[in-house]
């Protein structure tokens, strides 16, 4: 059962950070790029690749902090 929690907790943290990234930066992204440019595949891929790298890094940082204070 402990192994299941070690998989579920990071996945949930990753999903929460990804949603927060999307909520915070979607308006900035819409102001920065025009609708025509936002609809291109390249700018979407750039936005979401940055979002996934950011979410992954924050997830690793949160897991490291939780392990260092002996919560996990």
Asked if 47 and 29 touch (Cβ cutoff 8 Å), the reply is: yes
Going from N- to C-terminal start, the domains of the chain cover 2-68
pTM of the model: 0.80
Q: What is the reported pLDDT for 49?
A: 92
Q: State which residues of the chain have pLDDT below 50.
A: none
Instruction: Name the DSSP letter for residue 39.
Output: T
Q: Note the pLDDT of residue 20.
A: 94
For tokens 């059962």, what's the residue?
Answer: 1
């Amino acid at each position: 059962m402990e192994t299941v929690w070690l998989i579920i907790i990071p996945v949930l943290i990753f999903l929460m950070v990804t949603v927060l990234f999307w909520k915070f930066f979607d308006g900035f992204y819409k102001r920065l790029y025009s609708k025509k440019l936002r609809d291109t595949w390249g700018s979407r891929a750039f936005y979401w690749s940055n979002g996934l790298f950011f979410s992954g890094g924050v997830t690793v940082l949160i897991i490291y902090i939780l392990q260092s204070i002996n919560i996990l």
